[in-house]
Amino acid sequence: MQALGSLSKALETTERARGHLYSFHQLTGTADLELDRAVELLRMAGHGVWAERVQAEIVGRNVIPGHWTFQIVEAYDQTYYQAFKALEREAVARLAEGRDHLYEAEMKEARRTPNHPDHTARPDWPDTGPPSRPSD
């Protein structure tokens, strides 16, 4: 069903956006921690006024009013991501009997070569991993 495929694609894009948001969170936190070193080095170099400015004006500063990055991540998750994911799961459950990736499954079936060992419809290995390829 194209509609569910489009809905799932939108959720996948949201997953990527969420990942970028976590990257923003981690990178900003890493930068803030590196400022401790910058403050120390400024002091050691005799630039106490600059060290104090960095310490007072930038270290621990909100990235947007009232928010550190973890709060932005939490708000995104609670306000948007969880609701989107729950709706997509419910739509797949009700409209496709819980089967994910219907479009991809149809495409796989159309593109696979029958009876080719690397084009099987479903995995035939145990949970330990794929089977080894037959030797020539």
Report pTM: 0.75
> Is pLDDT of 136 > 80?
no
Q: Say what the pLDDT of residue 133 is.
A: 55
Query: For 20-74, what is each residue's pLDDT tens digit?
Result: 999 999 999 999 999 999 999 999 999 999 999 999 999 999 999 999 999 999 9
pLDDT 10s digits, 84-110: 999 999 999 999 887 877 777 777 888
Q: Where are the domains of the chain?
A: 2-103
Q: What contacts 24+ positions apart, CB below 8 Å, involve 12-21? A: 14/80, 14/81, 14/84, 18/76, 18/77, 18/81, 21/72, 21/73, 21/76
